[in-house]
């Protein structure tokens, strides 16, 4: 939705850069671990064919494999003693969602009793600011994608009225048959569908595209940290009784679903990620941050049950999912989902005014929740770059 026409020539620089073995392994274990439609992708001994355009099913893009990779000597220098492993690193920090007056529209908002509402977009900005300060102090160059609880995109829901009507009419026709004489276009029900679609195109699609544009064309960071909080399922419809579930996970790009792979632009983006070897950095980086967060928060790792995700990396907390953000953002993205803000334990900590240092929380000396989150991420980055740079 709202995507651009795919330019398959953008894959040309990757011709003969990857062996068949590397290509197939990444495809089968990270990007399409549950199989794929062979009408769309065909792998031969020396090359692969990928369908370019669903309107011209026979037009295939051909990517040639590297025949042989010369063994490369791994750099052996040990930089563990380096006191500032993050020095000079350009880090884009994406405070997930918008928050502020948009939190209800983007469905990242809840309120228990007369307590202050919890807005994911406000909390992610708090963590992002703390990360920014700490990264700067370690010589890195952090750049926040937003400084306020306001959208990055200049568009607003009303701008997508015509797209929203077209999409909803199409959906209705597909569901009810194209021959139907009685259409609901004038009903309140349909107007509501259009309203929700306009909002979704604004806060989910246009907003993420605007952030991708900043990352890909302005900041061009070494890595992006996408900061999010989770919410565990409420036990009752009034959303007043806190569930106990509280956990951590970190997402990397992968596990494209069949319906996603069937879209021309998404298919191209998959191969851009794969051929650029994005996973070779994104997964170990996410793994280091996940390990650090598990330790710092003391929380268990979240586990997916369905085929929309697959387990990656070494720690139990890293999963591959195809999200708009980790697909559109160029370069490695560490997509963080720590704490369920509505869980009993996290909610209680979030109700306390933010503080410096540590305090007694249920018998344990702990930082404020947002500081602990930022610190957990930071320590993971230090662990990774101490060994890699």
Interacting residues with Zn ion (CB under 5 A) = 96, 228
Phi/psi of residue 104, nearest 5 degrees: -75, -40
Residues 6+ apart with CB under 8 A from 68: 19
Contacts of 257 (CB under 8 A, 6+ apart): 307, 308, 322
Work out how close the CB of 347 gets to Zn ion at its nearest, in angstroms, rounded to a whole number. 16
CA-wise closest residue to 340 among 123, 142, 153: 123
Distance CA 23, CA 36 (A): 14
Question: CB-wise, 96 or 380, nearer to Zn ion?
Answer: 96
Return the number of the residue (228 or 249) whose C-beta is nearest Zn ion.
228
Q: For Zn ion, which is the closer residue by CB, 108 or 130?
A: 108
| Nearer CB in complex with Zn ion: 124/292 | 124
CB of 247 to Zn ion, least distance (A): 14
Which residue, 12 or 150, has its beta carbon nearer to Zn ion?
150
Q: Provide the minimum distance between the beta carbon of 338 and Zn ion in the complex, in angstroms, as a whole number.
A: 11
Which 8-state DSSP code applies to residue 62? E
| Residue (85 or 286) nearer to Zn ion, CB | 286
Rounded to a whole number of angstroms, the minimum distance from the CB of residue 382 to Zn ion is 25
In the complex, the smallest distance separating the C-beta of residue 334 from Zn ion, rounded to whole angstroms, is: 14
Contacts of 109 by beta carbon, 8 Å cutoff, 6+ apart: 103, 117, 118, 119, 120
Nearer to Zn ion, 107 or 129 (CB): 107
Task: Give the shortest CB-124-to-Zn ion separation in angstroms.
Answer: 7
Q: Count Cβ atoms below 10 Å from residue 314 Cβ, excluding itself.
A: 12
Query: What is the closest distance, in whole angstroms, from the C-beta atom of residue 331 to Zn ion in the complex?
Result: 20
Smallest separation (angstroms) from Zn ion to the CB of 200: 15
SS3 string, 100-154, reads HHHCCCCCCEECCCCCCCEEHHHHHHHHHHHHHHHHHHCCCEEEECCCCCCCCCC
Give the closest residue to 8 by CA, choosing from 275, 257, 255: 275
Residue 78 CB contacts under 8 Å (≥ 6 apart), including other chains: none
| C-beta nearest to Zn ion: residue | 228
CB of 129 to Zn ion, least distance (A): 17
User: Closer CB to Zn ion, residue 96 or residue 151?
Assistant: 96
* Residue 372, burial from CB neighbour count under 10 angstroms (0-12, 13-18, 19+): buried
Nearer to Zn ion, 122 or 168 (CB): 122
**Alpha-carbon dihedral angle through residues 240, 246, 248, 252, given to the nearest 10 degrees:** -50
Cα dihedral 149, 153, 158, 164 sign: negative
What would the 3-class secondary structure string for 186-203 be?
Answer: CCHHHHHHHHHHHHHHHH
Q: Provide the minimum distance between the beta carbon of 249 and Zn ion in the complex, in angstroms, as a whole number.
A: 12
State whether residue 243 is helix, strand or coil.
coil
Q: Judged by CB, which is closer to Zn ion: 194, or 325?
A: 325
């Amino acid at each position: 939705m709202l995507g651009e026409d795919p330019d398959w020539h953008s894959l040309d620089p990757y011709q003969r850069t990857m062996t068949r073995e590397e290509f197939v392994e990444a495809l089968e274990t990270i990007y399409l671990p549950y199989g794929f439609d062979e009408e769309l992708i065909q792998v031969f001994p020396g090359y692969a064919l990928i369908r370019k355009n669903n309107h011209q099913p026979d037009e295939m893009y051909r990517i040639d494999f590297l025949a042989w990779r010369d063994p490369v000597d791994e750099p052996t220098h040990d930089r563990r003693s380096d006191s500032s492993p993050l020095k000079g690193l350009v880090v884009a920090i994406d405070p997930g969602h918008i928050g502020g007056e948009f939190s209800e529209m983007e469905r990242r908002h809840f309120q228990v009793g007369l307590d202050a509402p919890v807005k994911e977009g406000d909390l992610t900005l708090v963590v992002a600011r703390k990360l920014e300060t700490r990264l700067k102090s370690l010589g890195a160059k952090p750049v926040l994608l937003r400084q306020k609880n306001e959208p990055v995109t200049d568009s607003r829901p009303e701008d997508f009225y015509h797209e929203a009507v077209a999409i909803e009419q199409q959906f209705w026709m597909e569901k009810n048959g194209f021959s139907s004489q009685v259409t609901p276009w004038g009903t309140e029900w349909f107007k509501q569908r259009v309203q929700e679609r306009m909002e979704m195109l604004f806060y989910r699609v246009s907003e993420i595209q605007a952030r991708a544009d900043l990352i890909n064309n302005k900041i061009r960071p070494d890595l992006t940290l996408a900061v999010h909080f989770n919410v565990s399922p409420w036990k009752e419809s009034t959303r007043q009784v806190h569930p106990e579930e509280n956990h951590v996970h970190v997402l990397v790009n992968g596990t494209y679903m069949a319906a996603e792979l069937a879209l021309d632009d998404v298919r191209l983006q998959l191969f851009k990620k794969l051929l650029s070897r994005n996973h070779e950095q994104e997964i170990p980086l996410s793994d280091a941050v996940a390990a650090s967060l598990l330790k710092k928060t003391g929380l268990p790792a979240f586990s997916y049950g369905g085929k929309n995700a697959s387990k990656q990396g070494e720690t139990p907390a890293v999963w591959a999912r195809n999200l708009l953000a980790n697909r559109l953002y160029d370069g490695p993205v560490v997509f963080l989902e720590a704490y369920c803000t509505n869980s009993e334990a996290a909610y209680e900590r979030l109700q306390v005014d933010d503080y410096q240092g540590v305090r007694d929380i249920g018998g344990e000396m702990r930082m404020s929740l947002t500081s602990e989150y930022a610190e957990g991420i930071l320590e993971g980055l230090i662990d990774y770059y101490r060994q890699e740079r």
